[in-house]
Amino acid sequence: MKNLVVLLYVISALVVSVLSNECYYVFSPNSTTSEESKIECIGDRCMSAFQYANSDGNTIKSLFKNCANESLCGTYGSIALENFIFSYFVHCCDGNLCNTEKYERPEEDPTPNGKKCPSAYCTGNLEECKSEKEMNCTGSMDRCFEFRVEEDHPGEPTRNSSVKGCANSDGCKHNFDGTIGVTASRKTYLRC
Protein backbone atom coordinates (compact mmCIF):
# COMPACT_ATOMS: atom_id res chain seq x y z
CA MET A 1 0.00 0.00 0.00
CA LYS A 2 2.83 2.38 0.89
CA ASN A 3 4.40 1.79 -2.55
CA LEU A 4 1.09 2.59 -4.25
CA VAL A 5 0.79 5.90 -2.35
CA VAL A 6 4.39 6.84 -3.29
CA LEU A 7 3.69 5.94 -6.93
CA LEU A 8 0.54 8.12 -6.93
CA TYR A 9 2.53 11.07 -5.53
CA VAL A 10 5.18 10.66 -8.23
CA ILE A 11 2.53 10.48 -10.99
CA SER A 12 0.74 13.54 -9.54
CA ALA A 13 3.98 15.51 -9.43
CA LEU A 14 4.72 14.61 -13.07
CA VAL A 15 1.23 15.60 -14.21
CA VAL A 16 1.38 18.91 -12.31
CA SER A 17 4.83 19.70 -13.76
CA VAL A 18 3.56 19.01 -17.29
CA LEU A 19 0.41 21.09 -16.79
CA SER A 20 2.10 24.02 -15.05
CA ASN A 21 4.73 25.01 -17.62
CA GLU A 22 4.77 28.72 -18.40
CA CYS A 23 5.76 30.40 -21.64
CA TYR A 24 6.19 34.02 -22.54
CA TYR A 25 3.28 35.42 -24.50
CA VAL A 26 3.72 38.22 -27.04
CA PHE A 27 1.40 39.18 -29.88
CA SER A 28 3.05 41.93 -31.84
CA PRO A 29 1.83 42.37 -35.42
CA ASN A 30 3.87 44.92 -37.38
CA SER A 31 6.47 45.17 -34.61
CA THR A 32 9.28 43.15 -33.07
CA THR A 33 8.91 44.59 -29.60
CA SER A 34 6.05 44.28 -27.17
CA GLU A 35 5.52 43.79 -23.48
CA GLU A 36 5.87 40.12 -22.57
CA SER A 37 3.34 38.44 -20.33
CA LYS A 38 3.25 34.84 -19.13
CA ILE A 39 0.80 32.11 -20.09
CA GLU A 40 0.15 28.65 -18.59
CA CYS A 41 0.71 25.83 -21.09
CA ILE A 42 -0.08 22.16 -21.31
CA GLY A 43 3.19 20.45 -22.13
CA ASP A 44 6.72 21.68 -21.59
CA ARG A 45 7.42 23.42 -24.90
CA CYS A 46 7.20 27.07 -25.86
CA MET A 47 7.58 28.77 -29.23
CA SER A 48 8.61 32.02 -30.83
CA ALA A 49 7.30 32.80 -34.32
CA PHE A 50 8.93 35.45 -36.48
CA GLN A 51 7.24 36.84 -39.57
CA TYR A 52 8.71 39.04 -42.32
CA ALA A 53 7.02 40.74 -45.26
CA ASN A 54 8.58 43.07 -47.79
CA SER A 55 6.62 44.73 -50.57
CA ASP A 56 8.42 47.19 -52.84
CA GLY A 57 10.89 48.07 -50.09
CA ASN A 58 8.29 48.45 -47.29
CA THR A 59 9.14 45.94 -44.57
CA ILE A 60 6.88 44.61 -41.82
CA LYS A 61 8.34 42.40 -39.09
CA SER A 62 6.09 40.68 -36.56
CA LEU A 63 6.64 38.55 -33.45
CA PHE A 64 4.45 36.00 -31.67
CA LYS A 65 5.36 34.00 -28.54
CA ASN A 66 3.13 31.37 -26.98
CA CYS A 67 2.79 27.71 -26.02
CA ALA A 68 4.27 25.50 -28.74
CA ASN A 69 2.21 24.44 -31.72
CA GLU A 70 4.10 21.23 -32.50
CA SER A 71 3.01 21.18 -36.15
CA LEU A 72 4.86 24.46 -36.73
CA CYS A 73 8.04 23.84 -34.69
CA GLY A 74 11.18 24.25 -36.79
CA THR A 75 9.38 25.42 -39.94
CA TYR A 76 10.66 28.12 -42.25
CA GLY A 77 8.06 29.01 -44.84
CA SER A 78 8.82 31.37 -47.67
CA ILE A 79 6.95 32.67 -50.72
CA ALA A 80 7.86 35.30 -53.29
CA LEU A 81 6.12 37.24 -56.02
CA GLU A 82 7.83 39.70 -58.35
CA ASN A 83 8.06 42.59 -55.81
CA PHE A 84 6.98 40.82 -52.64
CA ILE A 85 8.47 38.30 -50.21
CA PHE A 86 6.79 36.78 -47.15
CA SER A 87 8.46 34.38 -44.75
CA TYR A 88 8.05 32.98 -41.27
CA PHE A 89 10.29 31.01 -38.93
CA VAL A 90 9.10 29.12 -35.84
CA HIS A 91 11.52 28.17 -33.07
CA CYS A 92 10.39 25.86 -30.24
CA CYS A 93 12.17 25.17 -26.97
CA ASP A 94 11.80 22.95 -23.91
CA GLY A 95 11.29 24.29 -20.42
CA ASN A 96 9.65 26.93 -18.33
CA LEU A 97 9.81 30.45 -19.89
CA CYS A 98 12.39 29.29 -22.43
CA ASN A 99 11.10 31.37 -25.38
CA THR A 100 13.31 34.41 -24.71
CA GLU A 101 14.56 34.94 -28.29
CA LYS A 102 14.64 38.38 -29.86
CA TYR A 103 13.38 38.78 -33.42
CA GLU A 104 15.36 36.72 -35.93
CA ARG A 105 14.86 35.75 -39.54
CA PRO A 106 17.02 33.28 -41.43
CA GLU A 107 18.11 34.93 -44.65
CA GLU A 108 16.77 33.36 -47.83
CA ASP A 109 19.47 32.46 -50.34
CA PRO A 110 19.07 34.96 -53.25
CA THR A 111 20.75 32.62 -55.76
CA PRO A 112 18.44 31.54 -58.63
CA ASN A 113 17.78 27.79 -58.39
CA GLY A 114 16.65 27.23 -62.00
CA LYS A 115 12.90 27.08 -61.27
CA LYS A 116 10.63 29.62 -63.02
CA CYS A 117 7.04 30.36 -61.97
CA PRO A 118 4.21 32.65 -63.00
CA SER A 119 4.05 35.79 -60.84
CA ALA A 120 0.69 37.48 -60.19
CA TYR A 121 -1.10 39.41 -57.44
CA CYS A 122 -4.78 40.44 -57.60
CA THR A 123 -7.03 41.85 -54.92
CA GLY A 124 -10.78 42.27 -54.67
CA ASN A 125 -11.88 38.83 -55.87
CA LEU A 126 -11.17 35.14 -55.46
CA GLU A 127 -10.87 34.28 -59.16
CA GLU A 128 -7.61 33.09 -60.70
CA CYS A 129 -5.16 35.96 -61.03
CA LYS A 130 -3.81 35.89 -64.57
CA SER A 131 -0.55 37.45 -65.67
CA GLU A 132 2.05 36.95 -68.37
CA LYS A 133 4.86 37.67 -65.87
CA GLU A 134 7.30 34.94 -64.93
CA MET A 135 9.92 35.04 -62.19
CA ASN A 136 13.11 33.17 -61.31
CA CYS A 137 12.80 31.32 -58.01
CA THR A 138 15.68 31.52 -55.55
CA GLY A 139 17.12 29.55 -52.65
CA SER A 140 14.79 26.95 -51.15
CA MET A 141 11.76 28.22 -53.08
CA ASP A 142 11.62 25.42 -55.65
CA ARG A 143 7.85 25.16 -56.19
CA CYS A 144 5.27 27.24 -58.02
CA PHE A 145 2.14 28.06 -56.05
CA GLU A 146 -1.27 29.59 -56.56
CA PHE A 147 -3.17 30.76 -53.48
CA ARG A 148 -6.59 32.38 -53.07
CA VAL A 149 -7.62 33.63 -49.65
CA GLU A 150 -10.23 35.68 -47.81
CA GLU A 151 -8.69 37.43 -44.77
CA ASP A 152 -10.05 39.45 -41.87
CA HIS A 153 -7.76 42.07 -40.31
CA PRO A 154 -8.64 43.93 -37.09
CA GLY A 155 -10.59 47.10 -37.86
CA GLU A 156 -10.48 46.63 -41.63
CA PRO A 157 -12.86 45.21 -44.24
CA THR A 158 -12.38 41.63 -45.45
CA ARG A 159 -9.64 41.31 -48.09
CA ASN A 160 -9.81 38.89 -51.00
CA SER A 161 -6.56 38.06 -52.77
CA SER A 162 -5.31 35.72 -55.46
CA VAL A 163 -1.56 35.25 -55.92
CA LYS A 164 0.97 33.17 -57.86
CA GLY A 165 4.70 32.87 -57.34
CA CYS A 166 7.52 30.77 -55.86
CA ALA A 167 7.35 28.88 -52.55
CA ASN A 168 9.41 26.48 -50.48
CA SER A 169 8.07 23.18 -49.10
CA ASP A 170 7.13 24.57 -45.64
CA GLY A 171 5.25 27.43 -47.30
CA CYS A 172 3.19 24.92 -49.25
CA LYS A 173 2.74 22.55 -46.32
CA HIS A 174 1.51 25.06 -43.75
CA ASN A 175 -0.44 27.32 -46.11
CA PHE A 176 0.51 30.42 -44.10
CA ASP A 177 -2.43 29.76 -41.78
CA GLY A 178 -0.78 31.49 -38.84
CA THR A 179 -0.21 34.90 -40.35
CA ILE A 180 0.34 37.30 -37.46
CA GLY A 181 -2.23 40.10 -37.37
CA VAL A 182 -4.88 38.23 -39.38
CA THR A 183 -7.89 37.34 -37.24
CA ALA A 184 -9.36 34.88 -39.72
CA SER A 185 -8.13 33.35 -42.94
CA ARG A 186 -10.33 31.25 -45.19
CA LYS A 187 -8.44 29.53 -47.98
CA THR A 188 -10.49 29.00 -51.03
CA TYR A 189 -7.73 27.46 -53.14
CA LEU A 190 -4.11 26.34 -52.77
CA ARG A 191 -2.01 24.49 -55.30
CA CYS A 192 1.75 23.92 -55.19
What residue type is 47 in one-letter code? M
Nearest residue to 62 (alpha-carbon basis) of 54, 72, 53, 51 = 51
What's the chain's average pLDDT?
A: 81
Q: What is the pLDDT of residues 56-108, one digit of tens each?
A: 888 888 889 999 988 889 989 899 988 888 888 999 999 999 999 888 877 78
Residues of the chain above pLDDT 70, percent: 81
* CA separation for the pair 96, 22 (Å, rounded): 5
Nearest residue to 24 (alpha-carbon basis) of 34, 16, 14 = 34
- C-beta of residue 80 within 8 angstroms of C-beta of residue 118: no
Nearest residue to 117 (alpha-carbon basis) of 135, 142, 139 = 135
Least confident range of 4-8, 34-38, 51-55: 4-8
